[in-house]
Amino acid sequence: MTYGDSFKLSVVENSDGTEEVIDVDSSANNGLAMPCGIKVGSSIGEAYKNFGMPWRTNSGKNIEHNYVYRTQYSPKVVFTTNPQHIITRITIIGME
């Protein structure tokens, strides 16, 4: 499901016909923010202040950086930043 051009929910249909949100993706400062206040447009320093050091970081072809935070078993939140270390995308993976 897509709302506008910057907010996406990935939904699966369970065997009993119910639907479940499994991923959330925000790629613009569209009014959505995490409970701690982090949103697209925040600096990656805000993620460090709230979540500590990421589990993993990597760089893409466009010099974007991904900061991956996870639970004990799997990735859960990915912050993508531009070269100025400003968050350009927030992806929450594996909603439960």
Question: Under DSSP, is residue 80 helix (H, G, I), strand (E, B) or coil?
Answer: strand
| Band of pLDDT at residue 33, cut at 50, 70 and 90 | very high
| Band of pLDDT at residue 96, cut at 50, 70 and 90 | low
Closest alpha carbon to 38 in 91, 96, 94: 91
End-to-end CA distance of the chain: 18
Residues 62-80 have pLDDT tens digits of 788 999 998 776 768 999 9
- Please state, rounded to an integer, the average pLDDT across all residues of the chain: 89
